[in-house]
Amino acid sequence: MNNTALQAEEIYKTYHLGGCELPVLRGVNFELKRGEFVALQGASGSGKSTLLQLLGGLDRPTSGTIRFQGEPLRLQTAQQAAVFRGNNVGFVFQAYHLLPDLDALENVMLPAQVQRTSQAEALLRARELLSTVGLADRMENRPSELSGGEQQRVAIARALMNDPEIVLADEPTGNLDSNTEAVIIDLLNKLHQERNLTLLVATHDEVVAAAAQRVEHLIDGKLTD
Ligand code: ADP
Ligand code: MG
């Protein structure tokens, strides 16, 4: 079995804005091994979210190759990209992105709908995941009835629903106070250790970066250790 989860080879990404070119990534080389917890650090606007989107199949590079478990990603259609993400990638965002009309349990179960998981199986797994993130007694609460930290824990449980090969978290503590941030960092650490989660966390926060096994810095469109 291939020991690398993700590889980026000479990744370039240039955005085109009304006739202007904005080169964001300029030759990124990167490897994420299975079971690794890596932090991606960089100033605001340095391209962290852009790189996560490329690695997770949400967007495609201008040039260069992304490999998933050794094989080049070939996501020609939106459908192919959606299937890849659904099977392999869990996303966690700064603003949680929970659906307001669904309760915690229903939010966590959402990713299972694109899989061929039975409702009963999905329910069981969603309950187990919400317990794991410490929300066993909040399963029937809607996002508006939960604190920011609790909403992010729901979002983390949702990211794990399809048992993804990789979890990509984009500023997961960016909206949280420092106490709540510590809770989320501890949770990510626990999941990494107990479930051997492969985790890439973009952050401009030193505290989050300090929790990772390795830190990559995005500067001038390139990575340095
Ligand atoms: P970070 O996550 O490190 O703050 P981003 O990847 O969000 O950085 O953005 C990097 C640069 O690319 C910024 O200058 C941003 O304005 C620009 N950018 C990001 N997404 C787009 C887009 N879809 N179209 C045009 N420019 C973008
Ligand atoms: Mg960002």
pLDDT per position as a tens digit, 65-80: 999 999 999 898 999 9
Instruction: Please give the torsion angle defined by the CA atoms of residues 24, 207, 152 and 193, in that order, rounded to the nearest 10 degrees.
Output: 100
Q: What's the CA-to-centroid distance between 47 and ligand 1, angstroms?
A: 6
Residues with CB under 6 A from ligand 1: 15, 17, 22, 24, 42, 44-50
What pTM does this model have? 0.95
- β-bridge partners, 89: 166
Is residue 182 over pLDDT 80?
Answer: yes
Atom of ligand 1 nearest to the CA of 59: 23
Output the CA torsion 192→33→95→224 (10° steps). 120
Which DSSP helix (H) or strand (E) runs through 54?
helix 48-55
Q: What percent of the chain has pLDDT over 70?
A: 100
Q: What is the mean pLDDT of residues 6-20?
A: 95
Angstrom distance (rounded) from CA 139 to CA 17: 43
Which tokens in the block code for residue 15? 């955005």
Mean pLDDT of the chain: 95
Q: Within its chain, how far is the Cα of 11 from the centroid?
A: 19
Q: Is residue 9 scored above 70 in pLDDT?
A: yes
Q: Which of 14, 16, 49 has most ligand 1 atoms within 8 Å of CB, for mutation? A: 49
